[in-house]
Chains A and B, each alone.
Chain A
Amino acid sequence: MALLEVNHICKSFKHVEVLKDINFSLDKGDVLAIIGSSGSGKTTLLRCLNFLERPDSGVICVDGKNIFDSNDPSLLKESVIRQNRLHFGMVFQQFNLFPQYTVLGNLTLAAKLAAKNSYAKDKDGDNSSEKAVLDDIDKRAMQLLEKVGLTAKKDSYPCELSGGQQQRVAIARALMLTPDILCFDEPTSALDPELTKEVLRVIRGLKSSDSTMIVVTHEMDFAREVADKVIFMANGIIEEAGTSEEVFTNPKSPILKNFLNS
């Protein structure tokens, strides 16, 4: 069974149809690259998966469970959406780190708030076990910082880091809540070529550790190398989809051919 199934997703902004009946699935451990020219709907698709945009219609299913169904109002409640969006981690183009927190603080903030909330609800909870949970969060954050090569920067503030380092922190932050699927929205578009390399190296590293990922990217060489599946979007539809080999070596759609040659 596929880890992620997206069925008949549509999204319009006012009268402009940005996504028109999008369907695809993704297996556990797969890396999906979504490519296409600007305005083709790829970022909107990613944002729909995270509920940063709410699809007008369709169904999103993770691990056999519906997390979005436009016909099921119980899934549209704020608290349910908040819980369900944790299936996806998100790395933004502009990093979106919290500037007033250190690197470690950025990684641990959400996890600690969630842990404190659950202890506050359980008023008889043991204080020492709460402390142990918070310590575990710090430990996990340090492990992830090691993974992205930034242990030494744990006490730095985002403004003291390069763009590449900030994006690596953002990746570690997204991994903190152990999402099923990690989404990247043009993670290197705000970086120069040298910094792009260091971020792509981290993403490659994640692939080898069997993470399931969706990467919206303009880095064609990277998509070809890392992706198991590729979706090419144009005008709000999936114009072509297939394995990296199929899409890059034997493109069928004239629009895709044109895109790859440009």
Chain B
Amino acid sequence: MEQFLEQFPIVINSLNVGFLQTLKLFAVTLIGALPLGLLISFGTRSKIKIISGFFKIIIWIVRGTPLMIQLLIIFYFPGLVLNKPIWGGSEAGRFAASSVAFIFNYACYFSEIFRGGIQSIPVGQDEAGFVLGMTKTQIFFRVKLLQMIKRIVPPMSNEILTLVKDTSLARIIALQEIIWAGQAFMKGSQGISGAIWPLFFTAIYYLVFNGILTVLFGRIEKKLEYFK
């Protein structure tokens, strides 16, 4: 017990640093993947078959392969195969590579949710906008977007909670996120080794953060209940 109390502040400090990196990756992914996902969903809905086909193939590849492999390819491919190590070996380089992989991967999943959301809005909404002289852009942003958001909050919240946990995959390229920080105490770090409890303890961080997000999504859903 005494030993645990001694270790506790050291571990927490280290996990906090790791979790900050987790949060950073989570935030950057969301900021990048939401607009990119919307663009990809427009691409898949293009009337030009080459464009829609191209985006569908990209989505198929990204959704059909493990995110972990995508991380490895994006991080190592430029250096090992092209002999151009664009990311460098620093934590910042690993973070940049992770961000690219996560944004790309999640944009493809988000795009399918957006596509479903857009398609679920009755065509009568477009037509009502057209006969009132509105442009397609006005109809999308002023009429359909909020209706789409209302419809996609539940599947998006699912995907975003998964993203929080998926960030742990970035340790495969040694990004120092929270699981990496927890695992370090098994191998030996800051005078602590063979301790497995820090790794288990990381679950609390995920659980609390996902709890906050769940409450937040619940509030958004409630806020959008004013229309049907």
- Point out the residue from A85, A90, A99, A177 that lies within 8 Å of B228, measured CB to CB: A99
**When A and B form their complex, what is the total count of cross-chain residue pairs whose Cβ atoms lie within 8 Å?**
63
Q: Which of A100-149 contact B (CB under 8 A)?
A: 100, 109-110, 113-114
Q: Are B138 and A113 in contact (CB under 8 A)?
A: yes
Contact B133 A158 (CB under 8 A): no
Inter-chain contact B127/A52, CB cutoff 8 Å: yes
Residue of A nearest to B129 (CB): A110
- A85 B147 Cβ-Cβ under 8 A: no
B146: CB under 8 A from chain A? yes
Q: Which residues of B contact A159 (CB under 8 A)?
A: 227-228
A89 to B122, CA, bound (A): 20
Q: A109-B142, A157-B226 are in contact. Are A98 and B128 (CB under 8 A)?
A: yes
B145's nearest neighbour on chain A, judged by CB, is A100
Does A232 belong to the interface (CB within 8 Å)? no
Does A184 make an interface contact (CB < 8 A)? no
Q: Min CB distance, A13 to chain B, in Å?
A: 15
Q: A98-B143, A99-B227, A157-B227 are in contact. Are A52 and B130 (CB under 8 A)?
A: yes
In the complex the two chains form, is B132's CB within 8 Å of A177's CB? yes
Please determine whether A92 and B128 come into contact, CB atoms closer than 8 angstroms. yes
Q: Please determine whether A110 and B127 come into contact, CB atoms closer than 8 angstroms.
A: no
**Which residue of the partner chain B has the closest CB to A83?**
B133
Distance of B13 from chain A, by nearest CB (Å): 47
Interface size class of B (residues with CB under 8 A): 20 to 34
Q: How far, in whole Å, are A158 and B127 apart by their CA atoms in the complex?
A: 17
Chain B residue nearest to A179 (CB atoms) is B131
Q: Which residues of A contact B138 (CB under 8 A)?
A: 113
A85 CB contacts on chain B under 8 angstroms: 130-131, 133
Would you call B125 and A98 a contact (CB within 8 A)? yes
Q: What string of 1s and 0s marks CB contacts (under 8 Å) between B80-112 and chain A?
A: 000000000000000000000000000000000
In the bound complex, what is the Cα–Cα distance between A159 and B227 (angstroms)? Answer: 6
B residues near A12, Cβ cutoff 8 Å: none
| Beta-carbon contact of B147 and A100 below 8 Å | yes
Q: Distance in Å from the Cβ of B181 to the closest Cβ of chain A?
A: 44
- Per the bound structure, the CA–CA distance linking A89 and B127 in Å amounts to 12
Give B132-150 as 1s and 0s: 1 = Cβ < 8 Å from A's Cβ atoms: 1111001000110011001
| A50 to B: closest C-beta gap in Å | 5
A82 part of interface (Cβ distance < 8 Å): yes
For residue B124, which residue of chain A has the nearest CB?
A: A96
Report chain B residues within 8 Å CB of A89: 131
A63 to chain B, nearest CB (A): 17
The yes or no answer to A86 lying at the interface (CB within 8 A) is yes
Choose from B128, B133, B142, B226 the contact partner of A97 (Cβ within 8 Å): B128
Q: Are B131 and A50 in contact (CB under 8 A)?
A: yes
- The reply to whether A100 and B124 form a contact with Cβ atoms under 8 Å apart is no
Q: A157-B226, A157-B227 are in contact. Are A96 and B127 (CB under 8 A)?
A: yes
Closest to B138 in A: A113
In the complex, which residue of chain B has the Cβ closest to the Cβ of A88? B131
Interface string of B111-125 (1 = CB under 8 A from A): 000000000001011
A–B complex contacts, Cβ < 8 Å, 16 sampled: A52-B131, A82-B130, A82-B135, A88-B131, A90-B131, A92-B124, A92-B127, A94-B124, A96-B127, A98-B128, A110-B133, A110-B134, A113-B134, A157-B227, A173-B132, A174-B131
Q: Which residues of B contact A (CB under 8 A)?
A: 122, 124-125, 127-135, 138, 142-143, 146-147, 150, 226-228
